[in-house]
Amino acid sequence: MRAYNKGLAPPGLQNVPVQWMHCTVLHAVGLSVTSVDVDALLEEVGSYAQTVQPFTLTFDRPAVGNVAVEISGWPGRPFNEIVETLTQATARTGAAFKAAPSRYPHISLAYTADGAEDVDAATLKAALADIGHPLSGTVVADRLHLVEQWHDGAHIVWNPIAEVPLAGVRA
């Protein structure tokens, strides 16, 4: 993924450093690690994860969105099944939160920042179109990460809480 985010962020966009690149499954808005029984949630998610085989997500050319430059991935079906199951599991905790499930697999390469109103989307799209070679890459989805995350003003960052391996993967 390192090749994706080189030079894609003009003033008004903030590149996502490689260590903060991620493919979000669910934002549980308003939920903190102290407002849910993490052990119970991990037990349910762990049982489910053992029924899901690891799979490969393929990501393609960057696209300019409303608040980010991102790469979309496929296949959507295994990803969407995980999103739905984890959204339901989180809801069953009884904790109050707003579910913001990811609608499709994607990785953001740059987020809007101060000066974003000056970004010319057409110019940025033309620059992306001028990249004269394939930009696809793959990521093996073999585990789920439970994190407590926030936006630090420039990036989405997080503290890891737990890592849940998919079927056949060692922890």
pLDDT per position as a tens digit, 86-119: 999 999 999 999 999 999 999 998 888 888 888 8
Domain containing residue 23: CATH number: 3.90.1140.10
pLDDT per position as a tens digit, 120-153: 888 888 888 888 887 888 999 999 999 999 888 7
| Pairing assessment for the beta strands 156-165 and 68-74 based on DSSP bridges | unpaired
**Is this structure's pTM higher than 0.85?**
yes
Residue 170 lies in a domain: no
How many separate domains does the chain show? 1
- Alpha carbon distance 121, 144 (integer Å): 33
* Domain residue limits at 89: 2-165
Q: Please enumerate in sequence order all residues whose Cβ is within 8 A of that of 9, keeping only pairs 6 or more positions apart, or say none.
A: 15, 69, 109, 110
138's enclosing H/E stretch is strand 137-141
Residue 171 lies in a domain: no
